[in-house]
Amino acid sequence: MALGVLTGAGLRAVSDDVVIFEVEDAAGSLARITRQLADGALDIRMVQTISRSAGRCVVAIASDNNDRARTLLALADRLL
């Protein structure tokens, strides 16, 4: 619905399913997670920080196989 309203107003908008996870707010933390996903044969299409607080980041990621991403992140105990 929101996507239709935005595009109907002449704005460029995209919609994608994402996986939400938490990572330490420290240099290299997100790089390690995305490397694990890439090593699991996933193509990452989008990464966005949702929030940062108390040394933690909540991150949204879209990949070519979000179910596999959820499995890999659950194994790493990162999935929210």
For the chain, domain boundaries: 16-75
Residue 73 is predicted with a pLDDT of: 87
DSSP letter at 66 equals H
pTM passes above 0.85 = no
- What pLDDT sits at residue 30? 92
Q: With CA atoms as reference, report the closest residue to 78 among 27, 6, 3, 20.
A: 20
Cα end-to-end distance, the chain, whole Å:
26
Q: Are 63 and 43 in contact (CB under 8 A)?
A: yes
Cα 39–chain centre separation: 16
Q: Which residues of the chain have pLDDT under 50?
A: none
Fold of 16-75: Alpha-Beta Plaits (3.30.70)
Q: Which two tokens stand for residue 47?
A: 């990464």
**pLDDT given for residue 17 in this prediction:** 92
